[in-house]
Amino acid sequence: MKTVPILLVALSIVSFAQAADVDPLALLKRDLGDSIDVISNQEIRYCLDNTCEIFRIKDSKQADYPPYFVYLYLFHESGYIYLKEPFAGSRPFREVAKAQEPSVRKKVEDFCKKTPKTPGCILEGMQTSLRISVSFGRYDEGKFNE
């Protein structure tokens, strides 16, 4: 009988440790592979083909946050169809990432000052507070154009 409460406590400690140790950049690289390109600690690109979504943060003191923003943006906001639907036999990012998304969102939910703390509100708060820009670029004839 005593093993059940001990097991529950152990599971809750493991769950808490996993939530505290969320690394959104590692998750992005795991789930999206080479399509995630880290240019610097202030710029990350998602380039599936010759087009890219570019994420830049203006505040270098907050350089830990761009991966959280990119993860949540790609999960909730991006218009790339490949994130929603299977591509070349692979599972879509939104399907693969749905188990980790709540943990990533929880780490940055304080950027939303409203209740409930929706993904849109969190992204808007991050974008405003951290001065994150989202733009698009394209590789044409060996050159990158933004």
Q: Residue 127 above 50 pLDDT?
A: yes
Domain residue spans in the chain?
22-145
CB 118 within 8 A of CB 41: no
pLDDT given at position 20: 56
pLDDT in tens, 26-66: 999 999 999 999 998 899 999 988 899 999 998 777 778 89
Q: Which tokens sit at 106?
A: 């929880």
Q: Is 142 left (phi over 0), alpha (psi -120 to 50) or beta?
A: left
Residue type, 27: L
* Collapsed DSSP state (helix, strand, coil) of residue 126: helix
Q: What are the C-alpha distances in Å from 55 to residues 15, 21, 142? A: 30, 23, 21
Residue % of the chain over a pLDDT of 90: 59
Reported as a pLDDT band with limits 50, 70 and 90, residue 72 is very high
Q: Residue 92 above 50 pLDDT?
A: yes
CB 132 within 8 A of CB 69: yes
CB 87 within 8 A of CB 69: no
